[in-house]
Amino acid sequence: MTDDDLDDTFSGSPLRRRAPKLRFPAHEQSARDSYQLVHDELLLDGVARMNLATFCTTWAEPEVHALMAESIDKNIVDKDEYPQTAELESRCVHMLADLFHAPNAATTRGTSTTGSSEAAMLAGLAAKWRWKAKRQAAGHTEPAVPNLVSGPVQVCWEKFARYFDVELRQAPMGPGYTLTPEQVLERIDENTIGVVVTLGQTFTGLFEDVQAISDALDDLEARTGQSVDIHVDAASGGFVAPFCAPDVVWDFRLPRVKSINASGHKTGLAPIGVGWVIWREETDLPDELVFDVNYLGGSMPTFGLNFSRPGGQVIASYYNFVRLGREGFTKVQSATYAVAAHIAQEIASLGHFEVLHDGSAEKGIPAVTWTMPGDHPFTLFDLAEELRTRGWLVPAYTLPPDQQEVTVQRIVVRHGVSLDLADLVLADLRQALAKLDDRPPSRSLTPAEGSTFDHTATARVAIAHLGS
Ligand SMILES: *Cc1c(COP(=O)(O)O)cnc(C)c1O
């Protein structure tokens, strides 16, 4: 045995030195000491399950942990070496196509991705290529800038537009908070590649009305002959609406909906790192975007922005689908809606707040969003800050234009946010309110200070209004 083996972890030399930070370390140290060092650094991260800002999975069954560990070495791009992982991915695609009412779920195309952001890039690209093909067929050769119409979207669509040279025509948020058919129609012209409608808006949690927008586009086509496709960003709503609001028509039941993305790692209950994009019919994904590679053995079609990617999240998704089925997903998501309803009721009863989204299943995702109207000696940013001292992340943020004067606060109710956990955060919220009413801050936090708190020195959870 060497001295290092005998030493107590914290009296041995590695942990008595400073951690390497800016230079690649010259020497090795033991796995035990290195583990302790990294483990301790992570103490400064927030407790994920107390992060009520995130939509992402923060609790999974032990069997999911086991499957993730078993698949740590599986690269999903290597379909020849891991044909069964590829098979499970393909089954998931068809199951989701079925869940989203694709006319022929067995033949439609789709893929897993790292999340909804990559899925959005792929769906946007497919729309751009469909537009290109249509223009070519119509004999247009002059250069044109394609545009994409949307309401206030998650940042992934702004990225798509910038990365792939598309003009994003983002309608401002109106007093009703969700995109209206009129706002859509006003922004469409002959170079519109599609309309993005969000099922579970990041800022409020509300569903945008896909059916109404689709109807308006039907009308536009009847009047002008121009047919405009819809893509539904169902990052957060795709795994709740089918189970808890089956009468909300937002998916492939509407023929105009050509593609849908959903985050497997949000309401899909899978560990972080998986999204899905599904096309309505095989022909809605242009062939030019699918590449065949032969260097992994066999000829493999690949469509994605990444090459190598972990397979575990897809395997865990398949596990969740067979484990829960429609019955189990309905139970899990209904439980989150019930907790959201409880939180909404309590928030409304406190007297300070006005509930903007009460977490009802017909209106949006299981989340509660509220404002604080009237004069108070403190802001929602102060309240968010106060809750942080107890470890809760309940973000406050301003809405996008034209509602930028409105500050809201939001709780996302996920799998694992139990009634008991809700009562704990509500108790802390009541206490924080009492304190702020009694001893208001001498100067309130401004929106900028409130939402940049995290970016500075700490490596805490990402900002809430990006809706990660
Ligand atoms: C979370 C979210 C995204 C981005 O999804 P990731 O899976 O985090 O990449 C896109 N759109 C909406 C509406 C979202 O809620």
The pLDDT value recorded for residue 403 is 97
Q: What is the pLDDT of residues 44-78, one digit of tens each?
A: 999 999 999 999 999 999 999 999 999 999 999 98
Q: State which of 116, 121, 277 you would mutate to test the pocket of ligand 1, scoring each by most atoms of that ligand within 8 A of its C-beta.
A: 116
Residues facing 168 on adjacent strands? 148
Task: Decide whether any atom of ligand 1 lies within 6 Å of the 235 Cβ.
Answer: yes
- Distance from C-alpha of 67 to C-alpha of 69, rounded to nearest angstrom: 5
What is the CATH number that goes with domain 334-466? 3.90.1150.160
Give the least confident one: 4-13, 44-53, 239-248.
4-13
- Distance from C-alpha of 417 to C-alpha of 133, rounded to nearest angstrom: 47
Cα–chain-centroid distance for residue 116?
6
Task: Decide whether any atom of ligand 1 lies within 6 Å of the 198 Cβ.
Answer: yes
Indicate the CATH number of 65-319 among 3.90.1150.10, 3.40.630.10, 3.40.50.970, 3.40.640.10: 3.40.640.10
- Distance from C-alpha of 317 to C-alpha of 232, rounded to nearest angstrom: 21
Give the global pTM: 0.94
Task: Decide whether any atom of ligand 1 lies within 6 Å of the 115 Cβ.
Answer: yes
CATH 3.90.1150.160, the chain: domain bounds = 334-466
Q: What is the pLDDT of residues 305-350, one digit of tens each?
A: 999 999 999 999 999 999 999 999 999 999 999 999 999 999 999 9
Cα–ligand 1 centroid distance for 384 (angstroms) = 23
Q: State which of 55, 154, 196 you would mutate to test the pocket of ligand 1, scoring each by most atoms of that ligand within 8 A of its C-beta.
A: 154
Cα–ligand 1 centroid distance for 161 (angstroms) = 15
Task: Decide whether any atom of ligand 1 lies within 6 Å of the 124 Cβ.
Answer: no
Show the DSSP H helices in 238-311 as ranges.
241-244
Whose tokens are 């990365």? That residue is 163
Measured at the CA of 201, the angle between CA 213 and CA 280, to 5 degrees, comes to 55
Q: Read off the pLDDT band of 7 (50, 70, 90).
A: confident
- Residues in contact with 140: Cβ distance below 8 Å, sequence separation at least 6, in sequence order: none
**Confidence check: pLDDT of 218 > 90:** yes
Atom nearest to 118 CA in ligand 1: 9
- Distance from C-alpha of 164 to C-alpha of 162, rounded to nearest angstrom: 6
- Distance from C-alpha of 239 to C-alpha of 200, rounded to nearest angstrom: 11
Cα–ligand 1 centroid distance for 203 (angstroms) = 12
CATH 3.40.640.10, the chain: domain bounds = 65-319
- Residues in contact with 441: Cβ distance below 8 Å, sequence separation at least 6, in sequence order: 377, 378, 382
Contact 237, 200 (CB under 8 A): yes
Atom nearest to 200 CA in ligand 1: 13
